[in-house]
Every structure is written in C-alpha cells, then in structure tokens.
Amino acid sequence: MEHMTPCILLTDGYLGFGSALFKIPKMADMPPINPPIAQANDPDFKPYRRDPKTLVRQWALPGTEGLRHRIGGLEKEDIIGTVSTDPINHQKMVDYRNAKVEKIADFIPLQEVDGDPTGELLVVSWGGTFGAVHSAVKQVQGEGRKVSHAHFHHIMPLPKNTGEIFSGFKKILACELNSGQFVNYLRMRHPKHDYHQFNKVQGLPFMINELTDKFNQLLEEK
C-alpha cells in the first residue's frame, strides 16, 4: 500500500512441510503501514502527481470531501489523471511504473550473507530450499572450506547490495528446485558474473549430502 504496487508471494510446497522455531510477533511491534492517502479538500490535489522519492501517487478514497476519484483500467495522463491514448504519455507511464518498483529497493533490507563476506564460493538460494542449503553450508564451513550462503527473500527488486556481494566471490552457485528460473533472472540483472547451477526437478527436496558434494566439487575445481 505504501508503494502502490502489487505484491506477489512466491512459495512452494516444502515451505509448508518444513518447520523452524520462531517467536510470533506482536501486532504492536510490527512496523506501521502508511498509505499515501490524499487529504480532504486539498485545492492542489492532482491524482497522478508523484512523490519524487518513491514515484507513488496519492490515493483519493471514494467519498473524500472535495476530491474527485477516478477508477478504471484505461491509462491516465501524467499529473492530471484524465484518460489518455497519447503514445508519448504511454511511454512515460510505463517507465514510471518500472522505476517505481525499482525504487522499492531503497526501502527493503540489504541482503545478508551467512559466512565471510568474500571468499571462494557463494551459495545462493530462495524459498523452501533454505533449510537444506543452510545445513549443507554449515557442514562445509565446519570442515574449514571457504563457502558462504545468501538466501534471498526479495527478488523484484533485488536488494541494493546484491551486485556488491556477488563481486566478492570467485564462484556463485544457485541451488533451485526447478530448472533455473532464479539464476537466469540473476544473469539478466547482474550479467557480469559467472553463475553455476545445481537444479533438481524430481518433486523431492535437496539432500544435504548431494549439496555438500556439489560445493566440494566446485571448491576443488580450478
């Protein structure tokens, strides 16, 4: 609501089958949600004027005194908000929508790394693979090998420090229970890095021993 964008949760079956201890948060401790609601009787209200920091428009709730609320699937004119079929305005609105999503990276947490911030091998994961990948990384770390782990919670946009983290490692391995959707996305967003893949599409989770075997294989390769 604050960023005026759809929010899509990507999940998988093994998140439902897995378990981990966590403390249930209190609603009072949750961060506040502050949607950009327009104030009543604002004489300068423009439905498509955007906050330069977030590119978010103000919302005029239906029935707000002194304001006009317009809804519909047709594209609107910048600032004014009337229906527009102008091609130049269409380009501008498409660019705005993309930039608005990218600006969310200014408000999400930076990506964390479990292990050294630089080294030989960075293992990348997301979703329900966390438990197996985390355990396998810890096992190999316990053997004195230079391996670290980055489990991504935010995908679009990626955390702002993603490229910086990737630059600190000689090899990057993406472990996914699919054919490589996330690693191909990383190749598109951060193309200067060389990515290795470990994919499994068997309807079964990763086994710790198959992950550790792959880690050691990459660590031993020159």
Collapse the DSSP code of 63 into the 3-class scheme (helix H, G, I; strand E, B; otherwise coil) and give the result. coil
Identify whether the C-beta of residue 172 lies closer than 8 Å to the C-beta of residue 189. Answer: no
Provide the whole-model pTM.
0.88
Range of 158's domain? 119-220
Identify whether the C-beta of residue 183 lies closer than 8 Å to the C-beta of residue 197. Answer: yes
Residue 113 included in any domain: no
- The verdict on 18 and 83 lying in the same domain is yes
Q: What is the mean pLDDT of residues 129-146?
A: 95
Residue 116 pLDDT greater than 80, yes or no:
yes
- The verdict on 36 and 125 lying in the same domain is no
Q: What is the pLDDT of residue 118?
A: 96
- The verdict on 140 and 102 lying in the same domain is no
Contacts of 163 (CB under 8 A, 6+ apart): 190
Share of the chain above pLDDT 90, in %: 85
- CATH code for position 131: 3.40.50.920
- The verdict on 175 and 143 lying in the same domain is yes
Residue 35 pLDDT greater than 90, yes or no:
yes
Among 102, 118, 114, which Cα is nearest to 160's? 102
Residue 193 included in any domain: yes
Identify whether the C-beta of residue 100 lies closer than 8 Å to the C-beta of residue 55. Answer: yes
Can you say whether residue 154 is alpha, beta or left, with left for phi > 0 and alpha for psi between -120 and 50 degrees?
beta
- The verdict on 138 and 103 lying in the same domain is no
- The verdict on 98 and 146 lying in the same domain is no
Chain centroid to CA 97 = 16
According to DSSP, residue 76 is labeled B
- The verdict on 128 and 203 lying in the same domain is yes
- The verdict on 70 and 153 lying in the same domain is no
Q: What is the pLDDT of residue 130?
A: 93
Residue 167 included in any domain: yes
> For residue 37, how many C-alpha atoms fall within 13 Å in the half-sphere facing its CB?
10
Residue 61 included in any domain: yes
Of the three residues 76, 107, 138, the one that is the final residue of a domain is 107
- The verdict on 80 and 18 lying in the same domain is yes
Of the three residues 107, 131, 162, the one that is the final residue of a domain is 107
* Dihedral angle of Cα 127, 132, 138, 141, to the nearest 10 degrees: -100
Q: What is the pLDDT of residue 20?
A: 78
- The verdict on 50 and 135 lying in the same domain is no
- The verdict on 125 and 76 lying in the same domain is no
Of the three residues 48, 79, 107, the one that is the final residue of a domain is 107
- The verdict on 30 and 89 lying in the same domain is yes
Residue 51 included in any domain: yes
Query: How many structural domains does the chain have?
Result: 2
Is residue 142 classed exposed, middle or buried when 0-12, 13-18 and 19+ CB atoms within 10 A define those classes? exposed
Among 42, 61, 52, 71, which Cα is nearest to 1's? 61
Chain segment 86-109, per-residue pLDDT in tens:
999 999 999 999 999 999 999 999
Residue 164 included in any domain: yes
Chain segment 160-202, per-residue pLDDT in tens:
999 999 999 999 999 999 999 999 999 999 999 999 999 999 9
Rounded to whole angstroms, the Cα distance separating 138 from 213 reads: 13
Residue 3 included in any domain: no
Residue 4 included in any domain: no
